[in-house]
Structure 1
Amino acid sequence: MSDSRPVTNEPENIENDESAETLARWKWGGVILGFLGLQIVLSGVAVFLATSDPSNVIVEGYYEQAISWDQQRERQAASDALGWTTRLDLGKPQGLMGERLLTIQLAGPDGKPVSGCQLSGEIFHHARGGDVFKLHFKEQGPGNYTAVAPLQRSGLWELSLKTAGDTRHFQEKKQFRLKESGEFQAVATTPANNASNHQL
């Protein structure tokens, strides 16, 4: 009498189950690691864009300026009390960077030129607030101070001026719009607290 029971290969079935389970573990583990890797890559891209985009600006010394607000108001009030006015003039573009000769005419309340000042400044385009160019002016004539600034981009520019080296501390902010044609137009002058009679 023959045995009709089916013949099973249990070790082979066990090995197949183990290999399928191992494959599933690797697959889902890979999916999880893939999502983690993608998160790291996206975070890195976000950090890069946030720190490398020149349109994003971290204001230098912002905290110190905030806690010394009263002293800054006093300095601005002293600057306003001088009654000085400024007029801006731009030369024609030159060079690869569109460098232009920037001239500041500095006058006292009587309209006479103010000479002997150590005038410095900073200028930046509003679309590229992170690209700030420092300017050191030289007096070329009574009350006429010049510096070279790279102004190849049209649009809105902001110029901050200040004097140092003597008891006459003057500071002012000016804005102007540079047109595609190379001409410029006054937008605003801000001696901070009260700006009305100053001109570009």
Structure 2
Amino acid sequence: MSTVRSLDPSQTLPDKSDKEVLSGIVWGGMIIGLLVLQIVMSVGAAIFAVGSGSNDVVPDYYQKAIHFDELKAAQTVPVTKE
């Protein structure tokens, strides 16, 4: 006695309901969106780091550091009481 039976064509393909397709699009879109956000933020941070001027070379930095106290004392205005 053979237990082989024929396959029903409706059982060979997975049933994709609208909710499953929509959730696949949403989760796939979230992953791609986060990757794009990471790239945009990295490029923005690189542009900000290069263009901010915080990494400019200060001429005579060592001499200014040695004479910092003298420079600050010369720049302050003495307060006089009247």
TM-score by length of 1: 0.24
1:35-73 Cα deviation digits (max 9, x unpaired): 11220111011101101133236xxxxxxxxxxxxxxxx
**Cα drift, residue 21 of structure 1:** 2.1
Identity %: 13
Q: Secondary structure of the equivalent of 1:182?
A: helix
- RMSD value, Cα: 2.7
Aligned-partner residue type, residue 25 of structure 2 = R
Q: Which has the higher helix share?
A: 2
Instruction: Give the gaps of 5 or more residues in structure 2.
Output: 1-14, 72-82
Select the structure of larger CA radius of gyration.
2
* Distance in 2 separating the partners of 1:48 and 1:40: 12
| Bigger share in strand | 1
Give 1:18 shift.
2.4
Which residue matches 2:28?
A: 28
- CA offset digits 1:159-178 (Å, max 9, x no partner): xxxxxxxxxxxxxxxxxx13
Runs of 4+ in 1 over 6 A off after TM superposition: none
1:41 corresponds to which residue?
Answer: 41
Which of the pair has the greater relative contact order for Cα pairs under 8 Å at 6+ separation?
A: 1
The answer for unaligned runs of 5 or more in structure 1 is 1-13, 58-124, 128-154, 157-176, 184-200
Q: Which residue of 2 aligns with 1:182?
A: 70
Q: How many residues align?
A: 55
Structure 1 equivalent of residue 18 of structure 2: 18
